[in-house]
Chain A
């Protein structure tokens, strides 16, 4: 008890109370849901689907310098039946779009989508190209948009953390 007393001071009191209340409200309100969401946050398995050049920065995100595994996002994985996250890495062309939807449909629920890079958000640099879709919203529902051309690895990690925050606050079905 002495330790907790030491930790609390007027500067961080509000923060601590809000965090404790978050935990308590969540745990008391829907104890099972909280536990399930907590489990989902720390084991996000991304599908290994590369759609364009942002995949280079996606590769750099799991490199030793950025190491996204410490945030609970595990390296890209081959089997999409075991995955629950799809990071759309860049431009989606008209030839790739049906395949992207097919990959998304085959994933098991719950599934989350991160749109990485300007091309997958709006079409980006290739907005006037004849073979590029202006954003992937028309094909699959997007949870988090990560801007940049390409986004820095830090930005992608931040996007993943935003997604974790979103999962934490969402209701389970």
Chain B
């Protein structure tokens, strides 16, 4: 256990012994206390990590996920390609369009079909709206983590607007099962475009207020700025993704680097920051929300007025022998599916690689050496959703 803090203690002991006093030095292990955080704690539950603290400093951290491990990958092998959709969206029910998006893309590659153009646009619109729903929920929990209860109430209230839009589009509040291999389940309802534009206009006004009350709040800035620095090279080595990666100064967004469906026709910027701290990790999703409003508006403008929204499939489609690896940008970063097909109607193997599982590798890296009081702001800024990481 050699960190800066214990080294400074050692030098202090040396000073006192020089005075001629007899000082009994305790062993370094005696100073350590082991704490178990979770699975029941005031923030977001279903995740536990053990830490060891030396005074106020965290010197050891060991994540222990798996409290919501439901065996999705094994269940996939027993259901056919269409039946798999409802249970695959459960890991992130507030980002369910994105988690079924890459699954649909991978299955489409195996089935060898192409989604009609209007279907691609509707998919992208639903995906952008769902990104807002996810990020607002994440922001609300971040507010409650830091004791800022206004920041719980505002985002959860505004989130309902987007939930209303998605409910009008798909018929369910959070579990949409909207993306299916071959397109989307149904066309957009009447008056959706006007309603959507109106909500986005209102929401952009609200975003300014969020910035004033939360991001420019001196208390919030003190708790997050220069806390939990993840340098650029470390972010690359640890393979983090999404907002955590972009906060470390790497403009990597799957929508930009490998555009899927209609994203190559949309003009948008990848939002990133170079300060690498918790504030940047909290601010990048906010910038993403603003950019997402812009993307939704463009998608609504460019969408063809009429046309098919899905390809007709056989009742029990069979995939070609082979494998597919597809990824999309979800609220938490790259979300990819690796599907192996043996020619039958059920996948032979499905591997889900999620952003949360990749980002949690940075948690011990960031917590070791930081203070105990900084734990909430570091942990939740990693954009981590435990249910998704466990699958």
Contact = CB atoms under 8 A, between A and B. Distances in A.
Chains A and B directly touch (beta carbon < 8 Å): yes
Interface stretch (B153-161, B239-247, B268-276, B347-355): B153-161
A95 B75 contact: no
B94 A56 contact: yes
A97 B94 CA distance: 25
B153 A63 contact: yes
Interface string A92-115: 010110010001000000000000
B214 to A, nearest CB: 16
Given A129-B71, A130-B71, A131-B70, A65 B157 contact: yes
B41 A128 contact: no
Nearest to B41: A78
Interface stretch (A31-39, A43-51, A139-147, A161-169): A43-51
Interface stretch (B83-91, B202-210, B294-302, B323-331): B83-91
B220 interface: no
Q: Give the most central of A95, A149, A150: most B CB within 10 Å.
A: A95
A80 B40 contact: yes
Interface string A53-96: 10111011011110000000000011010000000000101011
Contacts of B45: 48-51, 55
A126 B73 CA distance: 12
B75 A51 contact: no
Q: Is the interface of A mostly helix, strand, loop or mixed?
A: loop
Nearest to A149: B175
A149 B140 CA distance: 22
A47 B68 contact: no
A52 interface: yes
Which bracket fits the contact residues of B? 35 or more
Nearest to B164: A65
Contacts of A51: 45-46, 67-68
Contacts, number: 101
A95 B66 contact: yes
Interface string B140-170: 1100000000000100110110000000000
Interface in B220-246: none
Given A64-B157, A129-B75, A48 B39 contact: no
Contacts of B94: 56
23 contacts: A47-B40, A49-B39, A50-B44, A51-B46, A51-B67, A53-B93, A55-B46, A56-B93, A56-B94, A63-B159, A64-B157, A65-B160, A77-B42, A78-B42, A91-B70, A93-B67, A96-B39, A99-B40, A125-B90, A126-B87, A128-B75, A130-B71, A150-B174
Interface in B351-367: none
A47 B40 CA distance: 9
Interface in B304-354: none
B156 A64 contact: yes
A116 interface: no
